[in-house]
Amino acid sequence: MSQPHHHLYFIDRLNVSVPSDFREAVRAAAEGRGITMSDYAREAVAERLQREGVTCASLPAVNALTAFRKAIAPGRAR
Q: Residue 17's pLDDT is what?
A: 96
The pLDDT score that the predictor gives to residue 62 is: 60
Per-residue pLDDT, 25: 98
Residues 36 and 66: beta-carbon distance below 8 Å: yes
Q: Distance between CA 66 and CA 77 in Å, rounded? A: 7
Residue 26, pLDDT score = 97
| Per-residue confidence (pLDDT) for residue 65, from 0 to 100 | 61
What is the mean pLDDT for each group of 10 consecutive residues in the chain (78 residues)?
52 90 97 92 90 81 63 60
- Cβ-Cβ contacts under 8 Å for 59 (sequence gap 6 or more): 4, 5, 42, 43, 46, 65
- pLDDT computed for residue 12 by the predictor: 83
Determine phi and psi for 20, rounding to 5 degrees. Answer: -60, -35
**Tally of residues, the chain:** 78
